[in-house]
Chain A
Amino acid sequence: MTSGLSTGAAYAPGRTLPLRVEIVRQLKRRRTLVMFGLLLALPWILVVAFSLGPAPAQQNSLRLSDLATQGGLNFAAFTLSVSASLLLVVAVALFCGDTVASEASWSSLRYLLAAPVPRDRLLRQKLVVALGFSATAVIVLPLMALLAGTVTFGWNDVRLPGTGEVIGASAVLPRFGIVIGYALVSQLVVAALAFLLSVSTDSPLGAVGGAVGLVIVSNILQAVEALGVVREFLPTFWSTAWLDALVPELDWSGMTKGAALSVTYASILIAVAFRRFRRKDVVS
C-alpha cells in the first residue's frame, strides 16, 4: 500500500497508533490513576477496617468474611469476593467503555482516523490497551490484597470457607492463580459490552454506565427464579463460580460454563463492535 510517491512519506498503516502511544495517552488520565489508586488502596482500607473492628465473635464461623483475617490468602480471597461483583466491573467497564467514546467526546477521534489510523487498527490497539488495563486491575487487586493480608495477618495456610478445612498455602497458590484467571475471563463479557457501547456512543459516561447498568440488570434478572434455566445464560450468572476453586475438591463445572459464556458473549460483542465502527459515520 505504501508508496512514497503517492502517499505520505514513510506512512505505514501497521505502524500507526503504537501500543506505547495509546498506553501513554490513557495512563496519564486522571480517572485511570484514580481507579488504580483505589484498587491499590482498597486492601489496606480493608486491613484497617478489620483491625479496628472487634474480632468476630464466632471463631467457628466458616464464612469467607469471618475467615478473612486467617492469613494473606484468606484475606485476598475475601477482598476479591467483595470487589468482583461491582468494583472490578466498574473498573473494567471504565477502561473498556471509556476508550473510544472519550476520544469521540474530545473530537480527537476524527483526527486519529484522518491521520490516518485505519479503523480496525485503531479499535484493535485500543481494545488491547483497554483489556490490558482491565487485566492489570483484576490482577493488581488480589495481589495487593495478598501483600496487605500477608503483612498484616501473616502467611498462613488457607482455611476454606464452608468446610473449614485447612490447606497448605503452597498448595493453594496455584488455586489462587485459577481464581484470578477465572476472574479475568469472567470480566471479559463486561469488557466487550463496554467496548461495544463505547464504539456506539459519543458519551463516555453512557458507555461505562450502560455496561455497569446492564450488569446490574443481569444481576437482578438472575434473582428471578421463574426464569429457570434461562438464568444460566445471563452473563453474570457464573460470576462467583471462582469460589469453587476454593473448595476441597476443585469443581470446574461452574467456571467452565462461566468461561464458555463469557467468551461467547465477548467474541460476538467485540465482532459487532468492529463491524459497527467500520461502517460508522464519525460525526463527533
Chain B
Amino acid sequence: MKVRGRRPVALIVVALLALGAVVWAAWPSPPPVRAIDQMIPVVDGPADDQRVTLDTTFFPPAGGGKAPAVLLAHGFGGSKQSVRDQAERLAQAGYAVLTWSARGFGASTGQIALNSPDYEVKDVKQLIDWVARRPEVLLDAAGDPRLGVAGGSYGGAITLMAAAYDGRIDAIVPQITWYDLADALFPGASGEGPEKGVFKRMWAGLFFSRAVDSPLAPGAGAQGLLAGSSGPGSAGSSGQSSGGRNATGSTGPVAGAQEVQCGRFLPAICQMYQQVAETGRATPAAVETLRRSSPISVPGKIRVPALLIQGEYDSLFPLAHADANAKAIAATGAPVEVAWFAGGHDGGDGEPDWVADRTIGWFDHWLKKDGGSLGDAFTVTRDGGRDPGTRRPVLVHAGTGSYPGLSGTARTSVPLAGPDQQVASPPGGSPASISTVPGMGSLLSGLGGGGLAIDMPGQAAAFESAPLSAPLEVTGTPVVDVRVHGEGEVTLFAKLYDVGGQLPALPQGLVAPFRVTATQAGTTVSVTLPAIDHRFDAGHRLRLVLSTTDMGYASPAAPAVHRVGLASPALTVPTDPSLRAAGPGLSWWTWALPLAAVVVAAALLLLGRARRADVPDPELAEVPLRITGLTKRYRDGELAVDGLSFQVDKGRVLGLLGPNGAGKTTTMRMMMGLIHPDAGEIRIFGHRVTPGAPVLSRLGSFVEGPGFLPHLSGRENLELYWRATGRPKGDAHLEEALEIAGLGAALERAVRTYSQGMRQRLAIAQAMLGLPDLLVLDEPTNGLDPPQIAEMRRVLIRYAAAGRTVIVSSHMLAEVEQTCDHVVVMHRGRLVTTGPVSDLLVGAAPSNGSKGRLEDVFLDLIGDKA
C-alpha cells in the first residue's frame, strides 16, 4: 500500500524531468551562420578613377531563401571584424548581411576620406550593386535590393551619408554618430557655429592618430575607442585592423614623414587637421571639408525610416547630434525614432543586447514589413535602481510616444544664486579642469555616473540652487544666461553638477564650451548646457560651474582674469513627464504559478487518499484484539511479520513471546496504527486499526521505550498528553496512574533528570491514563528492580481482573509465566503457537515428571522451527 501510494509522485517527478530534458534537447537552436570572405574592387574619387579593393564578408541569411539585406559599417579604427558579432546576429535573424572594412581600414586599400561623398559613399553604392547581384537578397526592383544600413560612430555617419546619396536604402540605424563633424570637433554652446567653437583637442587628436599604423601596439590599447560601445562586440573584437594594413604592404619597412604624420588619411584631410590642431581654430575651409562628410551638408536628402541611437556617455558626439539628425530626417516626413542608451564613446553599459534587439526590430518592421510593433518614438535608458532580486543596478527604458527634442515637453525654472566671481585663465591653459578624459570614460564611469570631475581653484565660478524639494528629472539641454565681464575673447566651460551625494557629480561628465567676446560692462550670453537625462534627487542642489579650462579642450595660453555672473538668476531645465519606464509588468507566472501550485497541492492531498470506510464488525465488538493474516515486509524485502493471526479475549493477560527479531514490536506498532501492514488486518473491538483510527482511544500503549518531552516535568508530560487526547480531564484517572508510577516528588522534576526506570514507570502510567480497555506493553519490566517487577506484575493482573485486557511482550520467560494466562509465541514473524500457559506447560511436560518450564517449551518451539 505504501509503495503503491508513492509511485504516482515519483512518476510525476520523473515525467517532468524527462519532459524538461526533451524540451532542452529539442529546443530549436539558431541555424548556423555562414560567412563568405570576398575582396570587392570598387572605383571612386571625385573623377571616378581610383581603384580600391574592399575587404568584405557576406553572411547569407541563416534561414536560407531570399531575404532583405543589411550593410553593417564599422567604427573608426575598426574593421569588418569589429562588427562580426552584430552581423551574425542579424544573419541569424534572417538577413543577408554584408560587412566591409572601409577604405583605409583593415585589409582594404585606399585612404581615409572621412565618409566623403566622393570616396566612401561611392564605395557603398558599389557594395549595394554587389549585394543586389547576390541570389540570397530580396530585390525591390532590378538592381535595387531591399536594404538596411546600420553602424556606429564612423559607421553611423556612412550610414547617414549613404542614405542621402543612394535611394536604394530603405531603412537605417545610425548609432553614436555625428550630424556636423565640424561642430563635434569645434563645439560652441553659445550657438555661434564651429568657427567660433572651442577645439575639442583631445578627442580630435585621438581621432586622427587612430589612422596611423602603430608598430608598437597592433590592435591594442585604444583600439575600440572610436568604434565606441555602439553595439555587440564592437569594443572587444576590433582585433587586428592595424596588422591587416601591414599585410597589404603599402607601408614600407621605414615609414616616411607623410606616413607617420598622416597615416592612412587622405593628404588633404591630414593637412586640414594639422592646421586646425595647431591654431585651435576652425578655418572656413576646414569647416567646409568636415561638413561635406556630415549629414548637415545633405538637408532633406535622408528620407528613409531612421532609428537614431545615441549614447548618453558621449563627449565626442553628444546627444545633440542625434537630435539634429532626427530633426533633419523628420523634416522630410520619414519616420524617426530616437533612443538615448547607456553607452557612447565614453563608455557606459553599452547595452549590446538591447541595441541589437532594437535594430533588428526596426529592420523587421521596415524591411521584412512583418507588421511588428515599433518601439517608442523616444526611449531613454535610465538607472532603474536595483533589481529586486539581485539588488544590482539595473537599467530601465523609459519611453514616450513622441520625440520632444532637447527642450523637453515642459520647462522648469530652477533659481540659481551666487555673486559675480573672478575667474582666472591660467597661462598656457594649465592646469586644466577635468570633466571627461577621452578614452578613459569607461574607466571613470564606474565611479557612479558622475565620473571624476575636478575644477581647479581660482578658475571656476559656481552658482547654486537651493536644495530641491522634489526630485527633478532633466531630459534635454538646460539653458542659462550668464554675463561675462572682461576684455577680448574669453573661453569658458559650463557644467551642471548634481550636488548632494557623496561627491558632486557631473552627469555623464559632459561640459559645454563656449567663446564670448567680453566687455567691461558685461556681455550676456545664453549658454546651452549639454543634453543630459539625469535625475536630481530631492534634497540635492544644482550647481552651475563656469570654468576657464578643460583638459579635453584647447584653451587660450595667455593669462587673464574675468568676472562672470548670472545674467538672470535662473536655470531653465527641460523635462518630459511623459517619459515613463514601462514597469516590467507582472509576468504571467506571478499568478499562474501559485494557482498551479495550489491545484497540485490539492491533488497531492486528495489523490490516493486511502479512504476505506471502517465497517465495524459487530461480532467482534467484545473482542479486544483480533489479528488476521497480518504481514509486514521491511524495505529490504525481509518479512518482519508473516501471516500472523491470533485473537485475544477480554480479561486476558496475554504474553507475546519471541526472540529478538521475531516481529513482536512490529506487530505492536501496527496495533497502534504507526505502521501500515502490507496485508491482513488488525481489529480492536471490531474496528479496523488504521492510522489515527478512533478506536485507538481504547488502547493504551507502551512500545519500545518511553517518549516524553524532556524539558517538562513528569506530571506536565502526563497532563499535556491527556489534554492532547482531547478527552475530558475526569476520564484520565491521573492519580491512579501516578500511583502506579510511584515517582513521588520526582514527578515535578523535568523528565530529562529521570533514570531509565523512572521513565519506564512514567511511560507505563501514561499508557494506563484513561484506563484503556486494551493495554499493550512492550518489555514493561526492563530497567525495573525486582520489587518493582513484582509490583508491576500485581498491577497488571489486577488491571485485567477488572475486565480489561493486557498484552505484554517480553523475552523474560519466567516473568511471562508468572504474569500471563495466555501466550502467543512468535518466531521470524510467524505465529509458532498460541494458547493458555498451562496448556503449553502441560504439553511440554518432560517425561522425567518434573514440572515443565516455559523456557523449555519456548526453546523447544523455536528450535523446531529454526
A residues apposed to B, CB below 8 Å: 1-2, 5-18, 21-22, 24-25, 28-30, 58, 60-62, 106-121, 162-166, 222, 231-232, 237-238, 240-241, 243-244, 247-248, 251, 253-258, 260-261, 263-265, 267-268, 270-272, 274-275, 278-279, 281-283
Contacts and interface: CB of A to CB of B under 8 A. Distances in A.
B697 A18 contact: no
Contact of A113 (B584, B601, B673, B686): B673
Given A17-B726, A164-B537, A256-B590, A109 B707 contact: yes
Contacts of B709: 25, 29, 106, 108
A265 B685 CA distance: 43
Contacts of B676: 279, 281
A162 B675 CA distance: 58
A103 to B, nearest CB: 8
Contact of A257 (B540, B590, B726): B590
A231 B392 CA distance: 14
Interface in B468-503: 471, 500-502
Interface in B383-402: 385-391
A267 B597 contact: yes
A112 B390 contact: no
Contacts of A281: 2, 669, 674-676
Contacts of A11: 694, 697, 725-727
B236 interface: no
Given A106-B707, A119-B691, A60 B698 contact: no
Given A2-B694, A279-B5, A282-B674, A106 B597 contact: no
Contacts of A58: 502
16 contacts: A8-B697, A8-B772, A10-B727, A110-B672, A110-B707, A111-B701, A116-B691, A119-B691, A238-B389, A253-B586, A257-B389, A267-B601, A275-B608, A282-B674, A283-B669, A283-B674
A114 B763 CA distance: 13
A164 B539 contact: yes
Given A2-B694, A260-B590, A107 B471 contact: no
B594 interface: yes
Contacts of A265: 597
Interface residues of B, number: 83
Contacts of A263: 594, 597
Given A163-B537, A164-B540, A275-B9, 4 more contacts: A163-B471, A253-B388, A257-B389, A274-B605
B418 to A, nearest CB: 21
Given A7-B698, A270-B601, A240 B691 contact: no
6 closest Cβ pairs, A-B complex: A254-B388, A8-B697, A107-B707, A15-B726, A271-B601, A118-B692
B152 interface: no
Interface centre among A2, A6, A263 (most CB of B within 10 A): A6
A254 B597 CA distance: 19
Interface string B764-801: 00100010110000000000000000000000000000
Given A11-B726, A253-B586, A258 B693 contact: no
B711 A29 contact: yes
Q: Could you tell me the dominant secondary structure of chain A's interface residues?
A: helix
Contacts of B699: 114
A6 B695 contact: yes
B430 to A, nearest CB: 32
A115 B724 contact: yes
Contacts of B698: 7-8
A263 to B, nearest CB: 4
B770 A8 contact: yes
A261 B675 CA distance: 35
B635 to A, nearest CB: 9
Nearest to A14: B726
B686 to A, nearest CB: 7
Given A10-B727, A106-B707, A267-B598, A60 B604 contact: no
B6 interface: yes
B673 A165 contact: no
A16 B725 contact: yes
B705 interface: yes
